[in-house]
Amino acid sequence: MLDTLATISAAASSTSAAIAFPLSLRRAWPRDTSRLGVQYVDAAGHTIPGQWHADTAETRSLFRKLTRQGHSALLAEAGESLVVLQPGGAENKLPALAALLARRGAVLVTHRPGRRAVVQLAAAEGVRFAKALRPSRAGRVLRANRFVEVLADRAFGVAVIEEADEAEGLLTMRSLPGRNLHALARDDAEAFVEGCRAAGRALRSLHVPAPAWLPVHDAQAEIAMLQERLASVERFVPELHSAIAQAFSLV
């Protein structure tokens, strides 16, 4: 299935967005067996997010909603499939995103359509990062951040949230100093090993009673999630299903 989405040669609709075709599929996130979040890379190296629906009527409906709202979305054919591409922050479920991108110096860092986006902002006090979320998710993310902030003897830093608007799904936070594990793994093996140890210590500091508002994710919930993932593998990457199903049987 993913093979049919691997390359997009041209748009099937007009757009004002500057996209250098052809596009190559970089990542795909199953939402269920009938929907995918996708990320393409164009010929100039720019990432282009989008969505695929098994029902092309849903794909066309999403495209119409985005264009009616003035976004530079476009339809594209990938083999026999139809994809909605959402460059430049084209979005209809993250109400905070458009206003964030309108700020001077704003840079879209990452965007998973319908889920979340991160925007880098310039500020007099230094770089800030804003998360645009679905409003229904913002409150939980805010509570989780504040819960972790006050953990005693924690072994890690937490980005301080400076601005929160749950109704708009907006969280703005300070940047954290340092380098991530991916960068350390690439550039400094010794520092990477120490970073992994630090991550282990940080994880240990989270072993505290969970707050009442935090949803329970027990063994049964984990098995149910794995079953959903296995169904997605069968739908989208059937050649891997047998090996993964065998591994799943051991869980």
Q: Hey, how many other C-beta atoms are within 10 angstroms of the C-beta on 185? A: 14
Task: Indicate whether 40 belongs to any domain.
Answer: yes
Write the CATH number for 142.
3.30.200.20
pTM to 2 decimal places: 0.87
pLDDT at 12 over 80: yes
Total structural domains within the chain? 3
Task: Indicate whether 45 belongs to any domain.
Answer: yes
Tell me what pLDDT residue 140 has.
Answer: 93
18 shares its domain with 63: yes
76 shares its domain with 116: no
Range of the domain at 53: 2-89
- Tokens of residue 71, six digits: 């976004």
Q: Among the three residues 89, 115, 143, which one is the final residue of a domain in this structure?
A: 89
Confidence of residue 202 (pLDDT cuts 50, 70, 90): confident
6 shares its domain with 80: yes
Which letter does DSSP use for residue 216 in this model? Answer: P
> Among 8-12, 146-150, 156-160, 190-194, which range has the highest average pLDDT?
190-194
HSE of 25, CA atoms in CB hemisphere, 13 A: 22
Q: What is the mean pLDDT of residues 163-168?
A: 96
Average pLDDT, the chain: 92
- Number of residues written out for the chain: 251
| 3 state DSSP class of 205 | helix
Tell me what pLDDT residue 135 has.
Answer: 97
Task: Indicate whether 190 belongs to any domain.
Answer: no
Task: Indicate whether 111 belongs to any domain.
Answer: yes
10 shares its domain with 85: yes
Q: For the sheet containing 74-78, what is the strand order?
A: 7-8, 23-32, 35-41, 47-53, 81-85, 74-78
Q: What is the pLDDT of residues 57-88, one digit of tens each?
A: 999 999 999 999 989 899 999 988 899 999 99
pLDDT at 101 over 90: yes
Q: What is the mean pLDDT of residues 107-123?
A: 95
pLDDT at 16 over 70: no
- Sequence-distant (6+) residues with CB within 8 A of 220 are none
| Under 8 Å between Cβ of 201 and 155 | yes
150 shares its domain with 128: yes
Q: Hey, how many other C-beta atoms are within 10 angstroms of the C-beta on 4? A: 12
Tell me what pLDDT residue 153 has.
Answer: 62
Q: CA 236 → CA 1, 89, 149, 229, distances in Å?
A: 5, 26, 39, 10
Confidence of residue 30 (pLDDT cuts 50, 70, 90): very high
